[in-house]
């Protein structure tokens, strides 16, 4: 099976305990744990709600992430889960490639403003294989959503400065990349300033992540820090 519509989502989720250390100046360990839990849930629910995807593959060793993903009907695999973001995604896409899947889209677990509609719009822009589509982070540094058809069409390497290298990698492999910008996909939560940006987004209204931050008094704390 190698159909254009056979696109699977890969969501790597590292172990939740001790996550989001760069938010430590603002959030307690318990608050950081609660935040990544709720963000992970909102991302997985958005992926599950997207009509354009054939399935979901979650790469994780975390028990809570495993339980949540399983309730949503996702496949959970552990291979590569301790090899960082790039290793987890690579392990997942290699599995999908071996199965002959048509393509894969990977998204991180910390983009709580993402919606099923955004995911469907990015997939709709994806061209027939061989093809590569990317939806960058708000700063044009990170690669927050990447689609490859077939799943291993382009070698991927994630990090703080991966967007332009991914564009170059696609071109090296003879593929003209498609770029689709979406505000929810673009905003990953890594630093205190990202929390401020998220709270200023109209799209954050009604999310559980926003409710958690407001209940914890984070907007007031951000204002005290000039954010």
How much is the pLDDT for 55? 98
Residue 3 has pLDDT above 50, yes or no: no
For the segment 19-38, the average pLDDT, to the nearest whole number, is 94
User: Do 94 and 106 contact (CB within 8 A), yes or no?
Assistant: no
User: Do 108 and 186 contact (CB within 8 A), yes or no?
Assistant: no
- What is the dihedral angle through the alpha carbons of 211, 216, 220, 225, rounded to the nearest 10 degrees? -120
- How does pLDDT run across 180-213, given as a tens digit for each residue? 999 999 999 999 999 999 999 999 999 999 999 9
The span from the CA of 193 to the CA of 26, in Å, is: 10
Q: Which domains does the chain have, with CATH numbers?
A: 7-222 (3.90.550.10)
How much is the pLDDT for 225? 87
The span from the CA of 132 to the CA of 178, in Å, is: 6
Residue 176 has pLDDT above 60, yes or no: yes
- How does pLDDT run across 93-127, given as a tens digit for each residue? 999 999 999 999 999 999 999 999 999 999 999 99
The token pair at 108 is 């991180």
User: Do 7 and 103 contact (CB within 8 A), yes or no?
Assistant: yes
- Read off φ and ψ for residue 147, nearest 5 degrees: -120, 135
| Alpha-carbon distances of 100 from 7, 8, 49, 174, 188, rounded to whole Å | 11, 11, 24, 21, 31
The token pair at 83 is 């090899």
Q: Read off the pLDDT band of 160 (50, 70, 90).
A: confident
How much is the pLDDT for 1? 35
The span from the CA of 188 to the CA of 139, in Å, is: 10
User: Do 177 and 168 contact (CB within 8 A), yes or no?
Assistant: no
List the one residue out of 31, 151, 139 whose CA is nearest residue 101.
Answer: 151
User: Cβ neighbours of residue 45 under 8 Å, at least 6 residues apart?
Assistant: 72
């Amino acid at each position: 099976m190698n159909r254009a519509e056979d696109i699977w989502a890969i969501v790597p989720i590292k172990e939740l305990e001790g996550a989001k250390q760069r938010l430590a100046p603002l959030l307690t360990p318990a608050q950081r744990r609660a935040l990544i839990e709720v963000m992970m849930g909102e991302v997985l629910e958005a992926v599950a709600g997207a009509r354009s995807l054939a399935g979901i593959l979650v790469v994780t060793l975390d028990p809570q992430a495993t339980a949540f993903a399983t309730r949503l009907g996702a496949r959970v695999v552990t291979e590569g889960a301790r090899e960082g973001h790039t290793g987890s995604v690579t392990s997942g896409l290699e599995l999908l490639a071996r199965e002959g899947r048509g393509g894969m889209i990977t998204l991180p677990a910390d983009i709580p403003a993402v919606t099923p509609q955004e995911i469907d719009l990015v997939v709709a822009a994806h061209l027939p294989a061989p093809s590569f589509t990317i939806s960058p982070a708000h700063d044009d540094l990170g690669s927050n959503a990447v689609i490859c058809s077939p799943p291993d069409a382009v070698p991927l390497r994630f990090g703080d400065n991966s967007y332009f290298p991914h564009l170059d990698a696609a071109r090296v492999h003879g593929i003209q990349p498609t770029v689709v910008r979406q505000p929810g996909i673009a905003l990953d939560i890594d630093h205190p300033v990202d929390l401020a940006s998220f709270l200023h987004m109209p799209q954050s209204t009604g999310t559980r992540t926003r409710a958690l931050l407001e209940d914890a008094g984070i907007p007031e704390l951000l204002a005290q820090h000039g954010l």
